[in-house]
Chain A
Amino acid sequence: MAAEKRVTFRSPWLPWALLAPQVVIIALFFFWPAGQALLQSLQQSDAFGTSVEWVGLENFRNLWNDETYLASFVTTAVFSVLVASLGLSLSLLLAVFADRIVKGSGIYRTLLIWPYAVAPAVAGVLWLFMFAPSVGIVSYMLREGGFEWNHLLNGNHAMALIVMAAVWKQIAYNFLFFLAGLQSIPKSLIEAAAIDGAGPWRRFWTIQFPLLSPTTFFLLVINVVYVLLDTFAIVDAATSGGPGKDTSILVYKLYYDGFKALDLGGSAAQSVVLMVIVVIFTVVQFRFVEKKVNY
């Protein structure tokens, strides 16, 4: 089914009026500032903007010549695939089971969504707290168990740490929407299938999953965007991109250059690159994956 409605309304002015609030806000507070931010990718300036120089594509050329930047594409790919796949599958599993049971579902729901309530600023500190080489409880327990956890010098441990932290946050978010999606599936459909003799496994794949596909598509897009654009804080709190550059994902370098190093031109250039990547991914998803979504 295509992503279009067969039955629509006609009105010369109403749709514009309905769209107006959002469009005005995004014009003022997104497009105008974003344009200026992207313009900075063609400039090089000192931090305070008192001397600005037009350098054309030089910022982009610097990126291209920086071998650590190119290496971070691979790091980002690994990280994104792990986080998106784990985040979606684990939360779907939990949502399906939470939807099934009647008793205690409220408690489970609250407890599973609660981690989302932890402010990212605090969550980063929490993870550091738990995994800190000395005072961290989890590191301590791992060491007692004989596993030499050292995310400071072992790149794989460090990657595992940030994947865990990122997935943890997303499970709560995905769970919430999956559950909402599952619960808006009419019970009558499920009952009808059960009467026809379909077991829970069949029912899931033939009824629930297809009907869940709009939500799944939504979450897929959102998760990809999240992992590519919003995971800076986790890396900053947990590993600072280390050891060496083993956990330096694209967005981390972007924020680092913009915020810590105050290299606004370089940071803007990286935003352009990252934005292009995200747009490509999203367009691909809309083009190819949305075809499979049942509306």
Chain B
Amino acid sequence: MKSRPLVLASIAVTVALSAPAHAQVEIHWWHSMTAVNNEWVNDLANDFNASQKDYKIVPTYKGTYDVSMTTAVAAFRAGQGPHILQVFEVGTATMMASKGAVVPVTQVMKDAGFKFDPAAYIPAVAGYYTAPNGQMLSFPLNSSTTVFYINKDAFKAAGIDTSKAPATWPEVALAAAKLKASGHKCPLTIAWQGWTQLESFSTWHNVELATKSNGLKGLDARLVANSPLHVRHIENLANMSKQGLFIYKGRANVPEASFVSGECAMITTSSGFYGNVKKNAKFDFALASLPYYPDVPGAPQNTVIGGASLWVLAGKKPAEYKGVATFFNYLSSPEVQSASHKRTGYLPITMAAFALTEKSGFYKENPGTDTAVNQMVRKVTDKSRGIRLGNYVQIRTIEDEEFENVWGGKKTAQEGLDSIVKRGNELLERFEKASKGG
């Protein structure tokens, strides 16, 4: 019953079965796309591989974003890392701080001889992944932003005018009250609460979430998310929760299921949710901009993106980097961008792609799908360009935890936000220290 012969046999078989080396340069791309997006990624790779003979992109699903990042870290430390790694937006600061491990995209493109024009990219999208000196660090692949969906049938049943979705928070509260009065059990819910109600909320109203331009300008940024405006908004939501106008349905994107099933009538969440709603909702719905407070100067400004970008890891050969650059060039062509945008609902990253999609009449056929892009093409300010804070995965969780305390009535809005700022700043301090030490 010894396993030794079996183990040796397996090794022998595996060695015998390994294919001979290709003349093509193989480029490994680790990603976290699942379900239909998994197919999209594979198609992108297949189409690129078919279009030329020098390079072969090999995409591999490596678990969810956090798992794949840990996997890549372990592999990198052992010298076995991939060339391209898809990292979620909240991991940006972490990646940036790992100076010896990443190669900025601008550099990769330049070294390979490609022209790289930052102005061609949609400001709020590319800005998020750009260093203070203008260098683009990673390649935005799948970006989405925060938008607002409403269930038009539920609105009609409550006697609310559906020609225009509620544009401001006071209007939202009014609509919610009417829905509740007509017997609706869940007028409003919120997905990705940290992202929609704190981060995007801040940039949308042109107020700072954290100092130093939300961290873009330095590691010594600190959270200021407990400003009077923030407290006012969270207090409003907390009151709505007490009155049964806003029902908390979970963290991340879990609440989306309640919208699709018709249970909740309004939801703030990602623009990427559109495909899901279109396919599965059995009611008439509309996609609109995120609500805002009309009395705040500068609102609405622009929202902040979510999603992920592609980072290039260090330690590979120049020929391989050329392949990466070629692939990125392929991905940024307007045709590929436009097709991806239409297929997945993710934002196009170049103005040219946006224009192409508009010309094709896509937005007319699918009303509301250009809302997300329109929120992003405005000229950004220092307070709205993007957010880059270290240890942000943990800070997002702190936001979730403290919000739950507020919705559950354990803390007031002021207390909750103060906790977020206090706990978050501790983490930011530690991140600053850890990054300086290297």
Per the CB 8 Å criterion, the residue count for chain A at the interface is 32
* Min C-beta distance of A211 to chain B, whole Å: 28
Interface SS of chain B: helix
Chain B residue at smallest Cβ distance from A155: B408
Bound CA span A256–B410, Å: 24
A216: interface (CB < 8 Å): no
Instruction: Please determine whether A259 and B66 come into contact, CB atoms closer than 8 angstroms.
Output: yes
Per the CB 8 Å criterion, the residue count for chain B at the interface is 42
Chain A residue at smallest Cβ distance from B2: A21
Instruction: Please determine whether B437 and A245 come into contact, CB atoms closer than 8 angstroms.
Output: no
Q: A230 contacts which chain B residues (CB < 8 A)?
A: none
Instruction: Please determine whether A53 and B404 come into contact, CB atoms closer than 8 angstroms.
Output: no
Interface SS of chain A: loop
Quick one: which of A47, A133, A240 contacts B94, CB cutoff 8 A? A47
A-B contact sample (10 more), CB < 8 A, given A47-B98, A47-B101, A134-B249: A44-B433, A46-B94, A46-B434, A46-B438, A134-B261, A152-B249, A153-B404, A240-B251, A242-B404, A243-B404
Bound CA span A263–B428, Å: 12
B401: interface (CB < 8 Å): yes
A52: interface (CB < 8 Å): yes
Instruction: Please determine whether A262 and B257 come into contact, CB atoms closer than 8 angstroms.
Output: no
Chain B residue at smallest Cβ distance from A260: B66
Q: A70 contacts which chain B residues (CB < 8 A)?
A: none
A113: interface (CB < 8 Å): no
Instruction: Please determine whether B98 and A132 come into contact, CB atoms closer than 8 angstroms.
Output: no
Task: Decide: A152 near B404, CB < 8 A? Known: A47-B73, A50-B438, A53-B438.
Answer: yes
A11: interface (CB < 8 Å): no
B394: interface (CB < 8 Å): yes
A56: interface (CB < 8 Å): no
Chain A residue at smallest Cβ distance from B401: A244
* Min C-beta distance of A46 to chain B, whole Å: 5
Chain B residue at smallest Cβ distance from A65: B426
* Min C-beta distance of A29 to chain B, whole Å: 13
Instruction: Please determine whether B402 and A244 come into contact, CB atoms closer than 8 angstroms.
Output: yes
Instruction: Please determine whether B408 and A153 come into contact, CB atoms closer than 8 angstroms.
Output: yes
Instruction: Please determine whether A133 and B66 come into contact, CB atoms closer than 8 angstroms.
Output: no
Q: A245 contacts which chain B residues (CB < 8 A)?
A: 401
Instruction: Please determine whether B100 and A135 come into contact, CB atoms closer than 8 angstroms.
Output: no
A111: interface (CB < 8 Å): no
Instruction: Please determine whether A48 and B434 come into contact, CB atoms closer than 8 angstroms.
Output: no
- Residue ranges of A at the interface with B (Cβ–Cβ < 8 Å): 44-53, 62, 132-135, 152-154, 240-245, 256-263
Instruction: Please determine whether B249 and A135 come into contact, CB atoms closer than 8 angstroms.
Output: no
Task: Decide: A242 near B391, CB < 8 A? Known: A47-B94, A48-B76, A52-B438.
Answer: no
Cβ < 8 Å to A, chain B residues 350-399: 391, 393-394, 397
Bound CA span A243–B251, Å: 10
Bound CA span A259–B76, Å: 15
Instruction: Please determine whether A48 and B100 come into contact, CB atoms closer than 8 angstroms.
Output: yes
B70: interface (CB < 8 Å): yes
B400: interface (CB < 8 Å): yes
- Residue picked from B97, B250, B255, most chain A C-beta under 10 Å: B250
B258: interface (CB < 8 Å): yes
Instruction: Please determine whether A53 and B98 come into contact, CB atoms closer than 8 angstroms.
Output: no
- Residue picked from B94, B400, B401, most chain A C-beta under 10 Å: B401
